[in-house]
Amino acid sequence: MQSDISPYRKTMSERKSLLIPGDFPPVVSGIATYFVEIWKHFPPEKCYILAPKDEGWQSFDAASPLNIIRRCIPTGNTTKAKILKSLLHTFWTIILHLRYKFDILHCGQVLSSGITGWTLKKLFGVPYVIYVYGSETYRFGDKPLLMNSIRSFLENADKIIPNSRFTMQEFLNIGIPAEKFDVITPGVDTTRFTPMPKDPALIEKYNLSGKFVLLTVARLDERKGHDFVIRTIARLRNKFRNISYLIVGKGREEEALRKLVNELGVSDKVIFAGFVADEDLPKYYNLSDLFILLNRQSSANERLKGDYEGFGIVFLEASACAKPVIAGNFGGIHDAVEDDKSGYIIDGTDLNAIVATVERLITDESQRLEIGRHGLQRAQRYFDWKTISKKVQPYL
């Protein structure tokens, strides 16, 4: 891959870059994981990171080799917090640029830091890269001011990095030129996420001895499809009495999901594990027999309407643990899951299809093992973070 960002007159070892990720550890999110795992492979003396002072940041930074500059920047979801976040990103980036003279900016979110890249390019001629994850135009399509801002930030960017081909198509549909894009998917740490025996302590904790375990690792949001998995459990509970569904994560839909569990009478089959620390996730993936996330496009919540799964790092994490996966068919999933090879991509709202697919994998152990083996090989070959970082490196 060759960089075509014209201001690159210095050699890579001479250039200084600033990443403005928006989300960054200790915050747990797909965006935070994406940037920390990639930037681990870059020289910290040339690669600066501007991040907020989220709870626990001192402990994270003390143990990290990354060159992180922390400032008081809000991370809330209110309109006021988001506006202030954008303004402070821009303010601090200008201050830092006057000191360090950056050669390139990496803007981790199209609105909250896209305006920062746009501003510094206008003021100082600094080129910038924007990362996009999908659903931005769906969520803000009825807001002309925001859509005009998105178009302007993207059209002035020197490169746009979407997390999947599906995400790229979303922005091609609003007229952004194809030559602006370079799809670079997320990856997985295949040294951490790797096949291992089921953890006896977790088996005891959740009473999973002799159980066939379905697992979802995700925020409890509508678009993650937990509700259809719960309905599937209700349909299969009598035929497969040893079936269990383990839900890892917290979120706005927890109360509604617990209510659904009680209404369907499957409280003995569904386990809400809550938040699990990132370092413990490999044990949870390996506790399962089948990973399932029936992603779909959000529609019920007006604020999140149109939101979708731009890629799905969790599918790679499950595959790296040699687990077969079932995914919903909306969003960038076809880059994360190889249909009929590393898992099955199905309509996440078709209950009959979901039940049939889960039943087939419960009853066919050889198929589960073959799908798991293929997913593991695919994750190791194409999605290790070191491989992914090499795709970003030319833009530093």
Q: Residues of the chain whose pLDDT is less than 70?
A: 1-12, 298-307
Nearest to 134 by CA among 187, 181, 190: 181
Domain presence at residue 123: yes
Q: Are residues 327 and 371 in the same domain?
A: yes
Same domain assignment for residues 247 and 371: yes
Closest CA relative to residue 392, chosen from 197, 65, 237, 162: 162
- Asked if residue 194 is part of any domain, the answer here is no
Tell me: do 126 and 48 sit in the same domain.
yes
Both 132 and 34 in one domain: the answer is yes
312 assigned to some structural domain: yes
Residue 354 covered by a domain = yes
Residue 257: CB atoms within 10 Å:
19
Residues 139, 211, single domain; the answer is no
Which residues form the domain of 63?
17-184
In a shared domain, residues 147 and 211: no
Average pLDDT of the chain is 93
Residue range 19-42, pLDDT digits in tens: 999 999 998 888 999 999 999 999
Share of the chain above pLDDT 70, in %: 94
Q: Which helix (H) or strand (E) holds 33?
A: helix 30-39
State the greatest distance between any 2 C-alpha atoms of the chain, in Å, as a whole number: 67
* Domain termination site, one of 150, 184, 218: 184
Question: Are residues 346 and 277 part of one domain?
Answer: yes
Q: Considering the domain boundaries, does residue 2 fall inside one?
A: no
Last residue of a domain, one of 151, 184, 217: 184
Question: Does residue 209 fall inside a structural domain?
Answer: yes
What residues form DSSP beta bridges with 69? 50
Residue 149: how many CB atoms within 10 A of its CB?
A: 18
Could you please report the per-residue DSSP string of 189-255?
-TTTS---PPPHHHHHHTT-TT-EEEEEES-S-GGG-HHHHHHHHHHHTTT-TTEEEEEE---TTHH
Do the beta carbons of residue 181 and residue 160 sit within 8 Å? yes
The number of distinct structural domains making up the chain is 2
pLDDT score, position 3: 46
State the Cα–Cα distance between residues 176 and 173, nearest whole angstrom. Answer: 7
Domain boundary pick from 125, 149, 184: 184
**CATH number of domain containing 57:** 3.40.50.2000
Same domain assignment for residues 219 and 171: no
Phi, psi angle pair for 334, to nearest 5°: -65, -15
Establish whether the linkage from the previous residue to 177 is cis, with ω within 30° of 0.
no
Query: Rounded to an integer, what distance in angstroms lies between the CA atom of residue 120 and that of residue 150?
Result: 16
Stated pTM of the model: 0.89
